[in-house]
Amino acid sequence: MTPAPDPPAPCATAAEALAFVETHGVVLVSAKGSAPKLVDAIVGHRIDGSWWSHPEGRRIFAILSAVTESEQVLVCRLLGGKITLVHRRLWPALARMADRLAPEQIAQVRQEHTPSGRHVNHEIPFPRWVPVAVLDEAAALGAEEALSALAAWWPAAAAPVEKTRHREASA
């Protein structure tokens, strides 16, 4: 019997976690799905249950906060309506294929932490969050080239998405 592979080294810093997102292109924050989970990468092993109750929960939160605030990362609900992180290198391909996705999948999700401790999500619709340079790159891409860039997770993204509850949408 072949021994199980060693777990990946944990992402000890926000820079390492951002590099993980860049390497994979598309990752889920913590939900089960077709993409790697960033919280698992942060601790170096699969987390059973909620990461909020994990002994490293505060560190996980700090790193997740830094990554989701990066200008290199789109926070959206691309995969199965779950919070998904898309690295900027894939934004042109995503923008090129936007007409094949539901609007709620490619709306930018911004989380606000209120003084009372509540988390409120604000959504910025596509294409309002997209930089002009990215839209220009998207316009220059052919559909096949865009699909090739997104191939690793495209079937999951293009699948019908059940309506998810959205807390608050910004106009």
**pLDDT value for 161:** 54
Cα separation, 26 vs 34, in Å, equals: 10
Contact between residue 111 and residue 169 where contact means Cβ atoms under 8 Å apart: no
pLDDT in tens, the chain (171 residues): 444 445 467 898 999 999 999 999 999 998 888 899 999 999 988 888 788 777 787 999 999 999 999 999 999 999 999 999 999 999 999 999 999 999 999 999 998 888 888 889 999 999 999 999 999 999 999 999 999 999 888 877 776 555 444 444 444
Cα torsion at 113, 33, 11, 89 (round to 10°)?
Answer: -80
Cα separation, 30 vs 39, in Å, equals: 6
**pLDDT value for 8:** 62
Whether the pTM exceeds 0.75: the reply is yes
